[in-house]
Amino acid sequence: MYRSHHCGELNAEHIGNIVTLSGWVQKIRNKGKMIWVDLRDRYGITQLIFEEGITPVDAFSMAKNTGREFVIQATGEVIEREAKNPNMATGDIEIKVSALKVLNEASLPPFTIEDQTDGGEEIRMKFRYLDLRRNPLKEKLVLRHKLAQEVRRYLDDQGFLEIETPYLIKSTPEGARDFIVPSRMNEGQFYALPQSPQTFKQLLMVSGYDRYFQIVKCFRDEDLRADRQPEFTQIDCEMAFVEQEDVLNNFEGMAKHLFHKIKNIVFDFEFPRMPYQEAMRLYGSDKPDIRFGMQFVELKAETDKKEFVVFNSAEYVGGICAEGCANYSRKELDELTKFVQRPQVGAKGLVYVKYNEDGSLKSSVDKFYNEADLKEWAEKMDAKPGDLLLILAGETNATRNALNVLRLEMGDRLGLRNPESFAPLWVVDFPLLEWDEDSRRFHAMHHPFTSPKKEDIHLLESEPGKVRANAYDMVINGVEIGGGSIRIHDSQLQKLMFKTLGFTDEQAQSQFGFLIDAFKYGAPPHGGIALGFDRLTAMFAGIDSIRDVIAFPKNNSGRDMMIDSPSAVDQTQLDELFLSSTVKK
């Protein structure tokens, strides 16, 4: 038996007990005649005490010679501490060690195993197994575990079946971002790793498994943005005999369950539902952060009255009202202007109007607009004296997008985006299609099985861009947690959809053949949702990056620094797979 207790559970009640603990040496304080060792395991830290002349000689000398991160086993009596530490669960006691054993020595770790470490990103990725010893990472993996269990508990209670779908599936001609896997047993042939189990979950609906879920890895071989991973985890769900409302209610219930169980936050209201068009109009984003207001106000009609060519030539003029910021300095305003002019935001300039505490108005476009004009804008924007109006102009989508970035920045500056406050939201009525300039045709915004709204079907041939879909996203604090749709189950409508997307029958058949075939044998109405589990966990952890909620993540080049993968393979291995490399040596 290596231990009688964990390092996190002993307190005043155990005083007098003889206990055995095992763990890692977190810290040693050697005062000559007295040695204190902080012993750490997954559950906490317990202080060990060694005293010359009292502690057995061998244990004392062993204690002297242990180093950080040694694995040791200590037996002794739980005694009351003289100097109690109220910040530690075990701070009332310490262990008067009577026997010590070094279970394993340890080389000096390349960075300190502390909450605030001295190790840089790269070295911590390479020694991930050491980084994982630190509390901040451990807490996130424990959180992830709890979330996974609660997700399953909720869905199981709701009658969902967890069904595993295959990882070795089929590559499709359009699946340019599929990872492919050569088969040794099938010469010249390849599997593909799933980008999502979409097709299989729809097949399960055809099979009659009317409530399916899975917490499942998905794969995408694409250029990685800062916070993408080539493998990521999805809470994947599908339901049959449901309408959009049924799906939203069920997964709103799941989100509420998680907030309750994990954060002890009770949402006693329905999540707001915002049509996509409204989200774009008021927030310039399909994932608005509604922890704060600062909604967009359009000023085109008001600004057109005068001869300011920048506004007059703009498709869109709109602004936000930053409360209490009328006192912003020239420097601060210049900073904001530069902020929106960065290439990734792309605004040409920034117009401000200060609504001073004394009721006067001062703006960067005083030359073109008088105080009555500015007053009119301020009123339309519900501004009060002391507020600052920030106005952008230009092409509608681009300007809304820039204004969104500016709004979030102002939210940050004003402390309106507290990571411990949560504002969930459904964004609904997404467009069915989006126009692609490169290929000069419409693409499915979600996927080609997403059903259009009944009342918009008549527009499919005449004005495809206006058709709204039964598609929805769950958004929390400006983060897209998940999205889904009601699928098309009517084969005539599906044909029309493929036609609209410019698929020939042959193309549709080659890409989705077995799903189309399956639908011929009695497909129920169905729909579903997929939630990003990494993203969800990061949101619960109050952090932006998903990397810290993944035990063994890859870097921005898709590389696992710890195991040094991907890597070259032997030629014999390629030979067996009927492949040769075209890389020039």
Residues in 234-253 that interact with its own copies by CB under 8 A: 241-243, 246
The amino acid at 501: L
Any contact of residue 514 with its own copies (CB under 8 A)? yes
User: Which residues from 128-147 bind its own copies, rule CB under 8 A?
Assistant: 128-130, 132-133, 138, 141-142, 144-145
Any contact of residue 506 with its own copies (CB under 8 A)? no
Comparing CB distances to its own copies, the nearer of 199 and 285 is: 199
User: Which residues from 9-38 bind its own copies, rule CB under 8 A?
Assistant: 22-24
Comparing CB distances to its own copies, the nearer of 206 and 351 is: 206
SS3 for 85-121 is: CCCCCCCCEEEEEEEEEEEECCCCCCCCCCCCCCCCH
> How do strand 44-51 and strand 93-104 relate by DSSP bridges?
parallel
Any contact of residue 192 with its own copies (CB under 8 A)? yes
Least spacing, CB of residue 77 vs its own copies, in Å: 21
User: Which residues from 334-363 bind its own copies, rule CB under 8 A?
Assistant: none
Comparing CB distances to its own copies, the nearer of 228 and 306 is: 228
Least spacing, CB of residue 569 vs its own copies, in Å: 5
- Taking CB under 8 A as the criterion, the residue among 179, 259, 339, 422 binding its own copies is 179
- Taking CB under 8 A as the criterion, the residue among 15, 181, 479, 496 binding its own copies is 181
Q: Give CA–CA dist 135/119, Å, rounded.
A: 14
Any contact of residue 439 with its own copies (CB under 8 A)? no
> And the tokens for 585?
């040596």
Reduce the DSSP state of residue 168 to 3 states and report it: coil
User: Which residues from 207-236 bind its own copies, rule CB under 8 A?
Assistant: 207-210, 217, 219, 221, 223-224, 230-231, 233
- Taking CB under 8 A as the criterion, the residue among 103, 139, 265, 324 binding its own copies is 103
Strand arrangement, sheet containing 471-476: 161-162, 211-219, 231-240, 526-532, 479-486, 471-476, 424-428, 273-275
Q: Are 26 and 39 in contact (CB under 8 A)?
A: yes
User: Which residues from 57-96 bind its own copies, rule CB under 8 A?
Assistant: 69-71
Comparing CB distances to its own copies, the nearer of 367 and 520 is: 520
How many CB atoms within 10 Å of residue 88?
17
Comparing CB distances to its own copies, the nearer of 346 and 558 is: 558
Q: Give CA–CA dist 73/166, Å, rounded.
A: 44
Crossing angle of helices 135-157/244-263, nearest 10°? 140
Q: Give CA–CA dist 344/402, Å, rounded.
A: 9
Least spacing, CB of residue 99 vs its own copies, in Å: 16
Segment contacting its own copies (CB under 8 A): 202-210, 265-273, 314-322, 327-335?
202-210
- Taking CB under 8 A as the criterion, the residue among 60, 191, 283, 540 binding its own copies is 191
Segment contacting its own copies (CB under 8 A): 106-114, 355-363, 386-394, 438-446?
106-114
Total residue length of the chain: 585
User: Which residues from 259-298 bind its own copies, rule CB under 8 A?
Assistant: none
- Taking CB under 8 A as the criterion, the residue among 85, 98, 171, 507 binding its own copies is 171
Any contact of residue 163 with its own copies (CB under 8 A)? yes
Any contact of residue 115 with its own copies (CB under 8 A)? no
Q: Give the distance, in angstroms, between the CA of residue 125 and the centroid of all CA atoms in the same chain.
A: 20
Any contact of residue 257 with its own copies (CB under 8 A)? no
> And the tokens for 51?
């005293």
- Taking CB under 8 A as the criterion, the residue among 10, 19, 35, 41 binding its own copies is 41
Q: Give CA–CA dist 346/398, Å, rounded.
A: 8
User: Which residues from 464-503 bind its own copies, rule CB under 8 A?
Assistant: 489-490
User: Which residues from 535-564 bind its own copies, rule CB under 8 A?
Assistant: 550-552, 554, 557-560, 562-564
Q: Give CA–CA dist 259/142, Å, rounded.
A: 16
Comparing CB distances to its own copies, the nearer of 179 and 339 is: 179
Least spacing, CB of residue 234 vs its own copies, in Å: 12
Q: Are 154 and 584 in contact (CB under 8 A)?
A: no
User: Which residues from 369-428 bind its own copies, rule CB under 8 A?
Assistant: none
Q: Give CA–CA dist 391/240, Å, rounded.
A: 47
- Taking CB under 8 A as the criterion, the residue among 61, 327, 418, 565 binding its own copies is 565
Q: Give CA–CA dist 230/221, Å, rounded.
A: 6
Q: Give CA–CA dist 236/210, Å, rounded.
A: 14
Any contact of residue 176 with its own copies (CB under 8 A)? yes
Q: Give CA–CA dist 226/436, Å, rounded.
A: 24
Least spacing, CB of residue 163 vs its own copies, in Å: 5
Crossing angle of helices 135-157/533-541, nearest 10°? 120
Strand ranges in 127-278 using DSSP code E only, listed in sequence order: 161-162, 180-182, 190-192, 211-219, 231-240, 273-275
Q: Give CA–CA dist 144/540, Å, rounded.
A: 9
